[in-house]
Amino acid sequence: AKGAGKNQWRRYRADLHGAMVERLELRSALDHAAREGLFLLAYQPIVDLGTDEPVGYEALVRWHHPSRGVVQPAEFIEVAEESGLIVPMGRWVLEQALHTVGQWRRILPRSRQPYVSVNVSVRQFREAGFVDEIKRALARAGVPPHALMLELDETALAPEHEAVWEHLADLREHGVRIAIDYFGPGLDGRPLDVVKIDKSAIDDIAQSQDQLARVQQMVALSRQYGLTVIAEGIESTTHRDLLAWLGCPLGQGYLFSSPVDGTEALSQMTKRLPL
Ligand code: C2E
Ligand code: CA
Ligand code: CA
């Protein structure tokens, strides 16, 4: 029994060591990817649930790995946050997304010109001058501020990030739209335009009356706060129809389209979504 305990400990130490080595390797691979320009953006339509037309696109980062192919953000965002790499990576994402939406808007008729929604980490706001950087990037890309939306997650509501909201209020006054990828307490009185309802809340609305009622509550409350709602993770026409019936104006999900490259997104806007 004593030997078994010792073996367990050894295995534990080996696993821990393995995990640390893996993280370090991931970190240096990411640094390399950033230097070599190996990130790319996928775009997912944000759809008007009344017309099934895209009104905007969320930019989602991917890593083009030389041997593993396209790596999803779930595998590297956390490490990028910890290492601080999220700052230069986020700068590139913003620059690239604005460049692309600028091109789209120059090609498309006014009534179809989309906005682009970019995920930002609170970490990026700790860099001095981030707000000015965004304003300059908009000007450089020739994109009006209302064609940019910034998406934050609920970590932004933590008490230690109070200063971030002053920067957000500044950007919002400039015309940039601010979205939060979270529904719950703490949204009242924030400089926000849009609340995104998570896929986990949407998943069961067709099976559960209670869940449907909860989502109805979220839509109603968001309205009271003067916020627009985007429902995430719409995978079926039943989801879409129920949400439209609840008065949810906008949605996103595989029913409409998974994230696609910029060329494909443009063709979705010139034709129709492949529903
Ligand atoms: P998120 O912001 O909640 O993005 C939505 C995620 O749900 C995306 O995953 C999207 O591909 C996926 N999705 C969309 N519709 C459906 C659906 O109908 N069903 C299912 N099952 N999934 C759907 P993705 O692209 O893997 O991104 C994961 C997360 O990584 C994002 O979650 C976001 O938090 C983060 N992320 C992505 N790009 C960036 C970025 O440029 N900067 C930062 N800071 N975070 C990013
Ligand atoms: Ca998001
Ligand atoms: Ca989400």
For residue 260, the model assigns a pLDDT of 98
Residues 219-244 have pLDDT tens digits of 999 999 999 999 999 999 999 999 99
For residue 114, the model assigns a pLDDT of 98
Kindly tell me the sign of the dihedral angle through the C-alpha atoms of 29, 35, 38, 43: positive
Cα 81 from Cα 259, distance rounded (Å):
22
Considering only CA atoms, which residue is closest to atom 37 of ligand 1?
Answer: 60
CB of 102 closer than 8 Å to CB of 111:
no
Any idea which of 57-61, 93-97, 192-196, 269-273 has the lowest mean pLDDT?
269-273
Which atom of ligand 1 is nearest the CA belonging to 232?
A: 15
Ligand 2 centroid from CA 12, angstroms: 35
Average pLDDT score over residue span 188-195 = 96
Residues 11-68 have pLDDT tens digits of 888 888 888 888 888 888 888 888 888 999 999 999 999 999 999 999 999 999 888 8
pLDDT range class, residue 124, cuts 50, 70, 90: very high
Contacts of 125 (CB under 8 A, 6+ apart): 131, 161, 163, 164, 167, 168
- Does pLDDT of 181 surpass 80? yes
Considering only CA atoms, which residue is closest to atom 45 of ligand 1?
Answer: 119
Considering only CA atoms, which residue is closest to atom 1 of ligand 1?
Answer: 181
The pocket around ligand 1, CB under 6 angstroms, is made up of 44, 60-61, 72-74, 77, 86, 90, 93, 119, 121, 181, 199, 233-235, 252-254, 259
Which atom of ligand 1 is nearest the CA belonging to 42?
A: 25
pTM for this prediction: 0.94
Cα 9 from Cα 45, distance rounded (Å):
49
Considering only CA atoms, which residue is closest to atom 41 of ligand 1?
Answer: 61
Which atom of ligand 1 is nearest the CA belonging to 80?
A: 44
Contacts of 31 (CB under 8 A, 6+ apart): 83, 85
